[in-house]
Each structure stands twice: as structure tokens, then as C-alpha cells.
Structure 1
Amino acid sequence: MKKSDVGGQAVIEGVMMRGTKGLATAVRKEDGEIVIDFQKVVPITKRYKMLNIPLVRGIFVLIDSLRIGINSLNYSASLFEDTEPSKFEDWLRGKFGEKANDVIIGITMVFAFIIAVGLFVGIPTAAATLFGEYGFSPVGLNLIEAMIRIIILILYIWGISKLDDIYRVFQYHGAEHKTIFCYESEKPLTVENVRQFSRFHPRCGTNFLFLIMFVSVFIISFTGWGSFLERLVLRIILIPIISGITYEVIKWLGKSDSIMAKIIAYPGLQLQKLTTREPDGEQIEVAIASLMAAEGLEEEEKNIGELINTGSRILSEVKIDTARLDSQLLLGKVISKDKIYLMTNKDEKVKNEDKKEFIKLINMRKEKMPIKYILGECDFMGLDFYIEEGVLIPRSDTEVLVEEVLKLIDEEDNIMVCDLCSGSGAIGISLAHYRKNIKVDSIDYYDIPEKVTKKNIERNGLEDRVDFIKSDLLGEAIKNGKRYHIIVSNPPYIKDEDINNLMEDVKEYEPHTALSGGDDGLVFYRRIIEESKLVLLDGGILSFEIGYDQGESVKELMEAEGYQDIKVIKDLAGHDRVVLGKLPC
């Protein structure tokens, strides 16, 4: 098979390509992974030499292409289906076993043929009959019929192009054409190279449909103008002949660069403005993967610089401001190298399995998953913490709280501290790291914070001085008679009505249990302030992180419960960030 014989078809979230080695259908799944279904398929005209006769082979190629196309569509659809098979499908599988899918495809083709004949043959033929009373010649009536057929085709394509799912299929259609053009031009199959080519290809099925209209006008003009039934039957009978001639014209258009070829291809290329759309980089990647599998081409290893550029482009397309930095961090995670290494070794090749893992992480970031969740780690107070979804990501704002509490603890103090609503354990572990004689209880109510905090206690070597207690706020501490010199807490404090106004990566991925502070954002402050008096020693300190507009409200709540020397401390941006007060002696 020559490069000019490679063909394809857009499917649901993917592309099918037919090449030298077989047929490959590449589909991008919802998690960003590209999966490829490869089949060793020999064209029908090669399996049966007697069918490879010019002007005859076209109809067999068309039928074979329809069968393969429907099969590829079924495969791509199956990757996104979450519904149970219908009773009819179950019956077919019970009746025909492994051949049930072939039966379904056959039924689909028959129905598709009936609908196509009705829409593009029956309706135009019936409509053209109305003009017979005006004295038009058979040739004129056939031309009118052809015009009606073309109008129906254009309106049909225009109508379905307005559907979102079909629009994406048309984008993949554009990616298919661009990729084939790039391959025919013998340029390396990269997203950047493929982008340069036109999405309008002369061998497209759209051209085939349009040329069938013109060929049918020429052929049918010699048949006269009988009754409606005679014309309908005759047009159906002539479909193989018309298809055969059109197939030969399409093959010639794909190989010829003559002026005549360009003139004949022009209307169909213009129609492709409706049936194709400009693809994005990810869709081009799918088309490239499909063509390479169909042609048996080995995936070329990319270097560090190329992968960072690819990741940056993908993330930039979804308006992620830190696209390049994120790409560097994610590639560094995959190949266990730091940013400096990546910047000074841009030409180093990356294994294909590492490239796939990198693209998988890039696609997670593309969906706005916070980079620190993907990396699985976070820096806080100069320490390294493990994190995952289910705990709040430690932020620099919270370091203000830790620094203020550290000011209250002397280097030699041997005291008990409670980190309440610990999440990842970052606050308590940081305090224990910088004050070598204190002991800390990290308290949280949920399983993931327990898992993460324990892992971070071990990671930072503090098993002898930091313990985890699973409790609904201070319930277990009160029950077990615990007493603390300091309670430090970053409780949930976002008003429920404000949750939906948070940044997308926060509201979609970070745990709402660590964000929602009830209707006024103060629910947990009230409970903690009340319960704290049962576990704090006389003169003990209660310290909170707060929202930028909650300073006075939390201060008033603490005053109402008898706390003294209450301070509201601002962060570097000048916003209220910390409230702390002392329990009377």
C-alpha cells in the first residue's frame, strides 16, 4: 500500500486509520489515555482478486468500508457506554453467539442504506416530479433532482454539525486529514508538523458523496424520465455503477495534481468546510497514534525539551498560567529528575513508557487537578509532606499561623500541643520539627487525613513525639482526659454559599469537609472554642487560622467564652489571618 492509499475515518473521540499493516482505531478515553484497537485486515479487493476490476471494485470497496467504519464506531462507542445491553442485543448474542456483532453491523448497514436511499434518492426524485408539469426535459428534471439532492445533503450536514458531539467528530475528521497529508509529505509525524497542513483532503468520503451526485446526473440523464417507481428502482439499480465510477475518480484525484483534478475536487473540498473542523493538539495526537499503528511505525522517543513543550502546549490550551512549570514538575516526577537537570539536558531521550506516564499526568493537570495532588507532595515550612485527595493542600497562608505559635514556645519548652483538624498533619509536624521538646496530638475525624498524617509523621521522623487521634473535634481528647498547653487549628471556615465561587481546582478537588464552615463560616469556631475550655490548661493558648474577613467575628466568639489577650494578626498581604487568645488562669 502506498502512502497515497492510506485512509481513515473519524469516530467517537478518536480516529480509525487503514494502512499497510492493518486497521487501527485510536480513541482517547475520559482519563486522557489513548487506547488503540489494531486488526490485521486485508482489503476485500486483495482477498478476492476478481473484485479488483476497475469500475467494478468501487461498490465492493464501499460496502467493505461501511462495514469497517460501523465496526470502528461501535468500538469507540463501547469505551464510553455505561448502559446495559438491550433485550434485542441479548437475544442476538444468545442466538448467534460470537457472530452477533456481525449481525448487528449487518442490520445497521441495511437500515443505513434504507435511510440513505429514502433521504437522498426517494425524496429528491419525488420532489423533482413536481417540476414535470412545467415542460422540463428529462435532462433538466434530472438536474433539478440532483440540485435537490445536493441541498438536502448540505442541510443535513449543516444540521448535525450543530450538535456538540458531532462537532468533536468533525474535529477528529480534520485531524485525520491533516495527519494523512503530513504523512504523504514525508514529514515527521509531530503535532507541530501536522498542524501546518490543510484539513481538506481530496480522497475524503465527503468528496465521494459529492462526486456521486455529479456522476449520477451524467449516468441517469441517459435513462429518460419514467414513473416515480421506475425512476426509484432504476436509481437503486445504478448505485453499483455510479459508485464504481466515482471510486475511480476519487483514486485519481488522490494521486493527480493536475488543474482538471483540482477543478473536479473543488466542490467536495468546499463541502469539507462543513464536515471538518480545526482539531486541537490532543486530537492530532490521537490521529498520529492511529496512523502509526496502521502503518506499523515505531513510536519515536521524544527528548526532554520536546515533552516539556508538548505538556506546556496542552496546558496552555486550557488557560493554565503555570503550564511550563507544571510540565517540568510532572516530567521531573516521572523520570526522577529536578528542574535544573531538565533545563540543562533538553536533548536527552525519554523512554516511551515514561512519555505515556507523563502525558497521563499532563491530562490530569489539564482537568485542573491541583499540581500538588498529582505530584503527591508539598513543601510547607521548609519540610516535605505527602498529600493526596482528601486532605487540604497546605498553603503559605497557614505558615503565618505556625510562625505565630512558634513565637509562643521557647526552644527548651516541654509542653503538649494539639493540632486540631490536622488534615495532612503539616501544622503539628512543623511545630514538632522546630521545637524539639514538645509533644503533639494531631486530631482529625476522617480516614484519609489519618492515613496521610501518619505517613507524614513517619516521613519526618517524629513517631516518638507526634501521635494521631481520630476524633470528632475534641471529643476523644475530652473523653480521655487530655490536657494541652496550646491548641492550634485551621478549621473549615468557608461560607457554604461561597464554595461555588472558589477557584475550579479547589472546589472540584479539595475536600469540602475541610472547606465548609456552615452558613456563616463560623460553625467550627463556635464548637472548638466551647470544647477547648475542657482540655486547655489554665493560661493555655487557643490559636486559629481564619478567613480574611473573620477576625472580629472570631475574636468576639472567644471573648464571649472568657478568653483574654486576644490578638488578630495579619498576613503579608495585609489580611486578617490568625486569631489567638489565652484561657484565664
Structure 2
Amino acid sequence: MKRLGGQALIDGIIMTGKKCSAIVRRKSSGRIDVETREKYIVEPSGIEKVFLVRGIINFINIIRDSVWNLKLLTSCEKDDESRGFIKFISKNKVLTLLFSIIFLIFVFFVLPELIVFIIPSFKNIQLISGVKFLIRLLLVFAYIMSISSNEELSKVLRYHGAEHKVINCYESKSELSIENVKKSSRFHKRCGSNFIIYILICYLILFLIIPRYSFGINLFIELIIFPLVIGISYEILDYMERSDSVFSSLLFSISKLIQKFTTKEPKDDEIEISIIALKTSEGIKVKNTIKELFLIGRSILRDANIESYSLDARLIIEYCLRIIPTQVFTSEVEVSKEDENRYLDLINQRKNGKPIAYMIGKKEFYGIDFIVKEGVLIPRADTEILVDKVLEILNNSKNSLSICDLCSGSGAVGISIQKNNENVNCTYIDNYEIPIKVTEENIYMHDLKDRSYVVKSDLLEFFIKNGLELDGIVSNPPYIKSKDINTLMKDVRDYEPHEALDGGDDGLSYYRKICEQAKEVLVENGFIAFEIPYNKAFDIMYIMTSNNFVNIDIYKDISEHDRVIVGYYKSKIV
């Protein structure tokens, strides 16, 4: 007979497997505690293999373990004075064992024999045996129903059901997941409830042929043959597990009737406890380390053809666990199931195309971290060229300068400029609520509120209406052709705001409007700096020259693509 088995507690499970006994309990905070006892299960040898005797030895071991675990069985974080007696006896194992034996003898032997003895009408041996069987059966049911009626104690029955279901799932060689365990039966052939029923049936059959004597002699006979009954019941249990005969099926059907009352369908969190208990007791790895979890996430993203799979997996685990990069590659610390599930959920979101920046809520740009949310364009490294060129212009002046970050999005461009030049005042303009709020958050985070202004406006309308001037304009406007939006990469097309991408029919609508408006707000020789699509530099240069911009320069990115264009406004061109 396989030795894997368990015992239900009020707040968890004790599972005994080939490696150890695992005590797994859920605290009221939701935290899961795992305790192991070095109680290895080995194959029986010597007297433990002898027919009938092995059942008696097994029963003694069960009673011993149950008594030793009494404190665990009855204790939880909500202990109160009503458990005072149990807590007292559980501190003294000898007293507990003695009390358990006396209680068992009285309830199982003395009480049924006393009832049939004091009722004169009970004379027939068969009738007496049947009545005693019913009394004992009723006592078992009364005990079970008393547990079921108490919400706290009924958890024991749910954990009992979870124990059966996880063992059935494991022994059927199915993956130990909550869904698989839920599909498994809560009835098991090795259940202790079966053992009790077989004991009752054995007593019923034996006392159909044993003559009746006095109360004391009959009680003595019952006690004397109890080890034999235990041995026979164990052999029946062993036969039940090994056989698929009609007789064993009939016996299991009978035992199912009692298991319907001794087990209940468990909840998901109770199944989770049972899975951890079984894995721990069998020596199956329960938790992944930080390094192992990172490798799992990296593998998932690599198989999904995510180009930046390694970087993304690292950034997600750093975000989930609040750790530094070196810990990702070296740490052997185990990760809780809650954190692991959270990490894998984000990995699956990334696998399905969601940008990493939206998941972790930040993006590094120009060596600075920025808050990023859905509804705001994610800053790209290519745009850092725009910051470089504007800083070159501004650093040539020692005077305080006023610029505008137009179509600001997260505010990454303007803030990067201000962080690297203390003389710059910047007005951030966008026409949508989310970018406005995110820009304000980034300004506050980088302590630039004294030199920054945030305005909701349709491009430069705010400056035009208020007659305000600017020394320079920096902008990364939308420049994707409308018809090309649906051809973009999935993570851009499905997640980033189209209003920050769509530049009209030819992708140049914003450049035209900005250049026309800029003439009304820029000071003489004021500059305008754009990020541009790589194949539109000369088209945008034409737009700029048509609006009195001169000394126009085009700058390439590290891939040698046209990326930035800069020009200066002249009110009069000679």
C-alpha cells in the first residue's frame, strides 16, 4: 500500500510523503507557513510485512501521529478560552494519549454495549450486533455533523477534501495545478473514514457468531479482538486499493457514503495549501528562486519572438520583487507563489504585445526615469538626439531662456533639457488629459515645478491668444501616415495612443500647422527643433523655409537615418 497520506487541520494540512511530513498552514494575513518534520517514509520490512500484524502496527502509528498532532489539529490564530482544555492536554503528550485511549474505549466500546445491555428486549444476537453497529455509526455521524455545523471546524472537512483531491491528482500523474486538482475526485480508497467503516462492519459480522455473555465479559471480548479487527480492516483497505473487482467496487461505494460527510469540496486557496503540502512531503520543488523565475519568464518571451525578451523579463522581475539587477542573475532566494503569479501574469501580458513601460509604469530616457501610463507615447532612445541638439543650442547662451515642449506626452524631452540646463524655463503643451497629468507627475518627481508650466492647448493657440513669446520650440509631433497606423508593430498599434502617432494623410499635418503658428510666437532668431521621420527631411525643410525658417540643419541618429531638423525664425528674409 502506498504510504502517501495526510491529515486535515483547521487552517491547513499535514501531508506525509516519501521525503518528510509537511505541515502547511495559511495564516489570517494570507501568508502560507511551511514546516517540515524529518519523518521519512520507507518501504516496510520484517514484522511490518506480516499479514494482519502490519495493520495493527499501522493503526498504532496513526493514533500516535494523530495524538502528537492534536495541538496542530485544534489550534489556529483565533484560539480562545473555549479551547483551554484542549490546549492544556496538548501540552502533555502522555496525558493526551491516555485521555484519547479512555475516550475511545468509552465511546466505541462501553457506550454501545451499555445501551444494548440495559434494554431487556435486546436478546437476539443478530439484533444486538445490528443495534451496536447502528449506535456506533450514529456516533460517527453525530461527530461529523457537529463539525459540519461549525463554520470554523468545517474547514477541516474542506481541507480533508483538498487532501483527497490532490493525492488523486498526483497518483493519476496529472500536473498539480489548481484546475486539475479541482477536477479530481474527493473520494479516496485509503481514506481513514473507510477504515472506520470496515472496523464497524467487521464487528457487525464477528458478533453475529459470538455468543452473548455478561456485560463485562462481552466488553472484554470486544477489547481483546480489537487488534484482530484492526488487522482485518487494514487488509480490506489494502485489497481495496489493489483490486478493481466488483466486490472492491461495492466496498468503495459504501465508503463513499461516509466520505460524502467527512469531506467537503475545497476552495481554491485550500487546494493551493494541499498542493504545497504534497509537493513538500514528496520532495517536489514548490517555489522557484529569483534566478529561476527570471529564466522562465525570459524563455516565455523568447518563444513568443519578443525581440528584447531578456531585458523585458529582467525589468518585469525587478519591478515585481523590488530588487536590483544583480539579484536577478545571482539570487537563490525563493519567490512566493503570489509574487510568482504576478510576475507570470505580466510576462503573459508582454508576450501578448503590451509594452513593458506600461506594465512597470516607467521608462528610462536620457539617463532619467519617467512615469509612463497608457494614453501617453512611450519615450524612445532615438528621441535623445533631439535633446542633444537643443542642449547644444541652449548651452551657448548664459541668459534665462523660455522654451516650449510641444506635444509633450510624458514631458520626457523638456524635462531632460531642463535637468541639464538650469537656465531653461519650459512650458509643456498637450491637448489631451492623460499626457497633461503624466507630465505634471514627472515635473513634480524631478523637482522642476518652479521652472515649468503645463498647459492644455491645441498646439500653440495658448501663446497666440495670450500674446506670449518663446525663445525656442522643441517638438516630437505625430508623423505616421494615417493609412500606415494599422501596419505598425502590435505593441505600438494596439497599445500606444493613436493621437500621438497619426500625422494625417502624408504624416506632415502637424509640421505645417506648427510652423505656421510658430511665426506668431517665436522671437527673432528663435529656434524650432523637430524629431522627423527618416524619409521626410527635405519635405519638412521645405515647410520650414516656406515659413521663414533659415539656417536649417538635419541631424542623423546612430543608424545614420535623418532624425532631427533645426531651424531659426527670421521675420524678414533678405
Q: TM-score, normalised by structure 1?
A: 0.51
Within 1, Cα distance between the matches of 2:383 and 2:556? Answer: 12
Describe the shift of the 1:3–1:468 C-alpha distance in structure 2 as closer, same or farther (beyond 3 A): farther
Deviation of residue 312 (structure 1)?
Answer: 2.3
Q: Secondary structure at the match of 1:417?
A: strand
Q: Is the 8 A contact 1:332 1:339 kept in 2?
A: yes
CA distance in 2, matches of 1:441, 1:551: 26
Partner residue of 1:459 out of 440, 445, 450 = 445
Alpha-carbon distance, 1:290 to partner: 10
Counterpart residue number, 1:113: none
Is structure 2 residue 167 aligned with structure 1 residue 183?
no
Query: Is 1:383 the counterpart of 2:368 in the alignment?
Result: yes
User: How far apart in 2 are the matches of 1:323 and 1:255?
Assistant: 50
- Taking the aligned partners of 1:452 and 1:443, their CA distance within structure 2 comes to 12
C-alpha contact (below 8 Å) 1:529/1:561 kept by paired residues? yes
2:403 match: secondary structure: strand
Q: Say whether residues 1:338 and 2:324 are aligned partners.
A: yes
Distance 1:436 1:301, change over 3 A: same
Quote the RMSD (CA, aligned, Å): 3.4
Alignment partner of 2:411 out of 416, 419, 425 = 425
Q: Does 1:470 align with 2:456?
A: yes
- Which residue does the alignment assign to 2:498? 512
Residue 509 of structure 1 aligns to a residue whose secondary structure is coil
State the aligned residue count. 325
What do residues 419-460 of structure 1 show as CA deviations (whole Å, max 9, x unaligned)?
100000011111111110110001001011011100100111
Matching residue within 406, 417, 420 for 2:391: 406
Query: Structure 1 CA distance, aligned partners of 2:546 and 2:476?
Result: 20
Letter in 2 for 1:469: V
Whether the 8 Å CA contact 1:4–1:255 is kept in 2: the answer is no
Partner of 2:487: 501
| CA–CA separation in structure 2 for the residues paired with 1:558 and 1:185 | 74
Residues 478, 501 of structure 2: 8 Å contact kept: yes
Shift of residue 189 of structure 1?
Answer: 4.7
Deviation at 1:353, TM superposition (A): 2.1
Cα offset, 1:317, TM superposition: 3.3
Structure 2 residue aligned with 1:534: 520
Amino acid at match of 1:183: Y
**CA gap 1:322/1:2 in 2 versus in 1, 3 angstroms:** farther
1:538 to 1:290, Cα distance in 2 relative to 1, 3 A: same
TM-superposed deviation, 1:323: 2.6
Q: Secondary structure at the match of 1:577?
A: strand
Q: For 1:558 and 1:329, how far apart are their aligned partners in 2?
A: 41
The 1-side partners of 2:475 and 2:441 are apart by: 20
Once residues 566 and 328 of structure 2 are traced to their aligned partners in structure 1, the CA distance between those partners, rounded to angstroms, is 44
* CA 1:510–1:342: 2 relative to 1, 3 Å: same
| Superposed displacement of residue 296, structure 1 | 5.6
Shift of 1:181: 9.9
Identify if the C-alpha distance between structure 1 residues 256 and 292 changes in structure 2 by more than 3 Å, giving closer, same or farther. Answer: farther
Partners of 2:318 and 2:308 in 1: CA distance: 15
Give the Å deviation of 1:388: 0.9
2:345 to 346, 360, 364: 360
- 1:375 is aligned with what amino acid? I
Q: 2:71 maps to which residue?
A: none
**Could you report, residue by residue, the CA deviation over 1:208-243 in whole angstroms, capped at 9, with x for unpaired residues?**
xxxxxxxxxxxxxxxxxxxxxxxxxxxxxxxxxxxx
Matched, 1:448 2:434: yes
CA deviation vs aligned residue, 1:481-513 (integer Å, no higher than 9, x gap): 221011011000000111111111111111000
Residues 1:554 and 2:537 aligned together: no
Gaps of at least 5 residues in structure 2 are 6-13, 16-165, 181-238, 245-267, 280-285
Q: 1:180 to 1:494 in 2, by over 3 A?
A: farther
- Do the aligned partners of 1:3 and 1:184 also contact (CA within 8 Å) in 2? no
Partner of 2:520, secondary structure, is coil
Residues 480 and 544 (structure 1 numbering): CA distance in 2 closer, same or farther, change over 3 Å? same
The one-letter code matched in structure 2 to 1:529 is C
Kept in 1, the 8 Å contact 2:372–2:438? The answer is yes
Distance 2:542 2:361 in 1: 39
Q: Amino acid of the residue matched to residue 322 of structure 1?
A: S
- Counterpart check, 1:392 vs 2:384: no
CA gap 1:382/1:295 in 2 versus in 1, 3 angstroms: closer
Relative distance call for 1:324 and 1:291 in structure 2 (3 A) is farther
Q: Which amino acid aligns with 2:519?
A: K
TM-score by length of 2: 0.52
CA distance in 1 between partners of 2:567 and 2:271 (Å): 67
